[in-house]
């Protein structure tokens, strides 16, 4: 994956901000009880596809919530289009991915705790 142009980065930032506000307002309907964070947005060079990475907090059903959001992709894209219609010629197709960085960090923390609890070998 190459580096993103300034144009891609700027457009991704606009999408990320607007989607974050959208999820803050309407996310409860799509994933009840979960706090959804848009952690990252990557846009293709032609700005036609936006890959959106979501993180879920306060939920044990992140995969189910993700499935629910993926089923609502067209609705989310339409609402995004209403927000960015003055800033973009086309509304990109949205692809949602689960950002499991928090789970990975927690897993690594547990591993480090286990290692630190083990008795040390004498030198």
47-99 tens-digit pLDDT: 999 999 998 877 777 788 888 889 999 999 999 999 988 888 889 999 999 88
CATH superfamily assigned to domain 6-117: K homology (KH) domain (3.30.300.20)
Check pLDDT > 70 for residue 4: yes
Asked whether the whole model's pTM tops 0.85, one would answer no
6-24 tens-digit pLDDT: 999 999 999 999 999 998 8
3-state secondary structure the chain: CCCCCHHHHHHHHHHHHHHHHHHHHHHHHHCCCCEEEEEEEEECCCCCEEEEEEEEECCCCHHHHHHHHHHCHHHHHHHHHHHHCCCCCCCCEEEEEECCHHHHHHHHHHHHHHHHHCCCCCC
């Amino acid at each position: 994956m190459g580096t993103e142009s300034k144009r891609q980065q700027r457009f991704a930032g606009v999408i990320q901000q607007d989607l974050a506000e959208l999820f803050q307002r309407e996310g409860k309907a799509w994933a009840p009880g979960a706090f959804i964070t848009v952690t990252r947005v990557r846009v293709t060079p032609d700005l036609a596809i936006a890959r959106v990475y979501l993180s879920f907090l306060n939920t044990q059903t992140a995969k189910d919530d993700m499935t629910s959001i993926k089923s609502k992709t067209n609705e989310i894209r339409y609402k995004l289009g209403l927000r960015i219609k003055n800033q973009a010629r086309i509304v990109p197709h949205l692809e949602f991915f689960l950002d499991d960085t928090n789970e990975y960090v927690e897993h690594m923390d547990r591993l480090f705790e286990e290692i630190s609890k083990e008795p040390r070998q004498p030198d």
